[in-house]
Amino acid sequence: MQDFARALADFVRDNQVWAAPIVMLLAFGESLAFVSLLVPAWGALVAIGALIGVSGISFWPIWLAGGIGAALGDWVSYWIGFKYKEHVAEMWPLSRYPGILPRGEAFVRKWGVPSIFIGRFFGPLRASVPLAAGIFEMSYWPFQIANFVSALVWSAVLLLVGDVMGKLAEWLWRAV
């Protein structure tokens, strides 16, 4: 995974015009049920965030692309849960990880709409919470509002963590 993140960051550094579409796809995959369990992309997003300050890539389009990609991933996950209900647990790879969906369900039942915001920041919950919200028919508009707001905050946090780490590394490189 580390090699993937590094290769992708190198590609973005050399082809900055592709930064926003790549970030959108990474955030979409990171937030999409099933895909996020197989290919966690947060490391690549942090690595691309590190390029923002160092290589002059503009933060705003990258941030917006990450937020939109993450929100669309949750939107699709919600729809899958809403459409297929309990059959989702029988689908691969969730059938191989039977504990993920019940954890998401318990989280959604306990926290309600704030679970969408909170779940965005916790690994396996990131994709299972929207799926569970769809299965249990959480109200559509409250879900989408929490979805888009949390996606924009999540995108900003990952990219800014990377940006700060990049600036810190640059400062340390110059100091040494």
Confirm whether pTM is higher than 0.75: yes
More confident residue, 176 or 76: 76
pLDDT at 1: 58
Residue 81's contacts (CB-CB under 8 Å, 6 or more residues apart) are 33, 88, 130, 131, 132, 133, 134, 135, 136
What are the start-end ranges of the H helices in the chain? Answer: 2-14, 19-31, 35-38, 42-55, 59-84, 100-111, 114-119, 123-135, 140-175
Query: Is the pLDDT score of 4 beyond 80?
Result: no
